[in-house]
Amino acid sequence: MPALTLTLCGLLFGCGGQPEDGESTEVLDAPDTQVMPAEGAEGTVTASAISTMSVFGASVSFNSNGDNFTVRDTAADGHSAVAHIYNSNTGSYSFCWNSSGSGTSVTCNRNFAEGILIRFRACTGEAGTGRLVNCSDWKTVSTAN
């Protein structure tokens, strides 16, 4: 009975492990996986310098190459999107507000000292009063050297 089951399985579902009619059983050579780069293709590869934090209604990206914050308003919730920024070098806090409405982005440029740690988080808030409504956790990043 097991042989009949295997034969039936092979005929109905192609799971018999035997080659189909006209199918080759020859082993093909594997292609050469060591490909040399084209002449003059040298270059420097760098890791991404962009870090992002999000909370419902806001997304904040920091690009350490240029010290730019991009603040995106991601919800039509009546709140502004804001980056809340802490500079560990000076001990000061600052903000980058986007009060332009859902679907918009605002970029703020900061000129941090090179190689310091900063912290930022994405928040929603009331631009008129400066009150923060909801914020993500803090993210610590280093400015570019």
Mean pLDDT, consecutive 10-residue stretches, the chain (145 aa), reads 45 46 45 43 55 98 95 98 97 97 98 94 97 98 85
The pLDDT assigned to 134 comes to 98
pLDDT at 144: 80
Domains and CATH numbers, the chain: 50-142 (2.60.40.10)
What secondary structure does DSSP assign to 66-106, as a single string?
TTEEEEEE---SS-EEEEEEEETTTTEEEEEEE-S-TT-EE
Q: Please give the model's pTM, rounded to 2 decimal places.
A: 0.67
